[in-house]
Structure 1
Amino acid sequence: MNIDLSRRSFLKLAGAGAAATTIGAMGFGAAEAATAAHVRAFKLASTTETRNVCTYCSVACGILMYSKGDLSAGEKAELIHIEGDADHPTNRGTLCPKGAALKDFVKSETRATKPRHRAPGADTWQDISWEEAFDKIARAIKDDRDKNFIEKNAAGVTVNRWTTMGFLAASGGTNETGWLTYKTVRSMGVVGFDNQARV
């Protein structure tokens, strides 16, 4: 197939094609206008990024938390987004389902923010102060230890054991916190002691 096309006609045709393509790419069509009308601003553009570590389990993945509100101006920061930290060597930007749901955990309406107590036989919970909660816990621990502490075994050897209480430590603490927790628990004679990292 031979087309008789002069150089002038070819340049006119090429110019018209380039102009039509450019106009279409500039978004003058109805579809492009409708799409542009629904484009929203990037939600992380005006946020503060904070690096942290997820303490949900012992893996300790790196997370990036994004919040709005200027703390230096006395504003309360509001957490709006959490994602994996791509620069963290443990998870390299990925998060498990628990880590991905951290924002929902922080902003949950049912999240416990103060101590509550349900009396024996009651069917409702009552808000109590932190002081009252600590007093109740300390009293229960002391009563149980006084009742069940084993100072010497059957052979008369000093063992200092408390076998009726166990302690489960968290995995998100520092080495110093772990050392202090271990010393505290062992000094009370607690035998059943484990860590979330091992369980």
Structure 2
Amino acid sequence: MEGGDLVKKQQTSYTYWVRDTREDAAPLPVPRKLTADDISKPAQPNTLGSVWNQAGTWEEKNLNTWASDRIKELLKSLDSLEFSNGKAYIEGVSKCSGDAFLVIVRNKKRVGYTYELSLKFKALSGYGTGEWQIQNECKKIKGHLDIPEFSFGELEDLEMTVSLSEEKDLGAVDKSQICTAMRSFLVPIREKLHKFEQELKER
């Protein structure tokens, strides 16, 4: 009786089962000796911060130079717009003022910016004379597109005002029509700023 109990106990024990493995069973793990490379290479932590901030606790980077240069570059690449009286194009960016930053807090990245812009525009007639046709007369039309302060995530609410540099010879109706036409730049400007925002998030 005691002998039968002993055999039964052996068959149900873990070590007995391991010794009785079948040929199709998975092979037992084989210990591997650590090499010199294994010992010399420390584990690389998955952090976003600088070398000195491996814990990723707090780090802020100033991105003003990159952001200002990139915004100007994108806005200068705007295509001209065609109108019945001629076309208009952006001559340059006369104001690009603001701040952009990247913050790492607890190993999580956050970006942001605040900017205000002013763009110079010029209107041409269909013949490229440097003037805009108004009531069969060609007049020189120049001005600014001013965009008040806007921040990250606010591009859908972007606003723009149009100011004309030389308007003494323009009637109220003509000025209103020109300003309305120049506000058409708001859509492509917003698209360029969306591109800037996406590039900022990917930094």
TM-score bracket, normalised by the shorter chain, equals under 0.3
> Scaled by the length of structure 1, what TM-score is found?
0.20
Q: Give the number of the structure with larger relative contact order, counting CA–CA contacts within 8 Å between residues 6 or more apart.
A: 2
> Scaled by the length of structure 2, what TM-score is found?
0.20
